[in-house]
Amino acid sequence: MTSLAQRLRSGDKIVTAWSGLAVPIVTELLARGGYEAVTLDMQHGQHDMASVREGLVSLTLAGAHRIVRVPVGDNAMASRALDVGAEAVIAPMINSRADAEAFAAAMKYPPVGARSWGPHRAAMLAGQTPPDYLAGANDSLLSFAMIETPEAIAALEDILSVPGIDGVFVGPSDLSLTLSHGAGLDPGGERTQSAAADIARRTLAAGKLAGIYCLEPEKVGEAVAMGYSLMAFGNDMSLIMDAAGGAVKSTRV
């Protein structure tokens, strides 16, 4: 299976489901339903280390790419997510070069970073020997810094210049909240979308990857037009509720 890193760097556009339910079979069903990638959310979702560990196995069985979003500032968890098989980690609220450096250090082995050795489960899932895993890890495992604040936008070039940061991931809800100084949520508004376009342009200029959360299906195509290659759309709770609601409506006479 071609890695997520190889696909994104070759120009593929990938849509990832968003998993908040800590139920491995639900995670697997998202992949078997057609998603090429699934992101397990430890920040706002219900996932913990146990459900991430089992969820990554389920995604491996289903042949989907494996992404984890860790809690704010939890760089130790970023390393642990890699150790149990994540192909990419998204770190929220990366607002400065220092934030990016700390995240990258947890994601990459020396000489790029300071990740500690212990990826036994990840190597097993990949069918690799420890030397083979080590040889490819820094290049094939992706670190995405979330850009969600005016401070992060102002520091974007500094963040992108950090060795070991492979790309950025835009959270439009938090971005709209911080841009408005807490006045309200407007992820699809002109100000937020203009900022998202600017972030993509500057990220691509730096030779890095750009990802974004999309709240409506049409936003996926708009994101691709901006230059994004990893788009999150569809969370498990909403997908289940929408499917259940549609099924109930279809039976009404």
* Catalytic site positions: 44
Which residue shows structure tokens 């500057």? Answer: 202
Which residue shows structure tokens 């992820």? Answer: 187
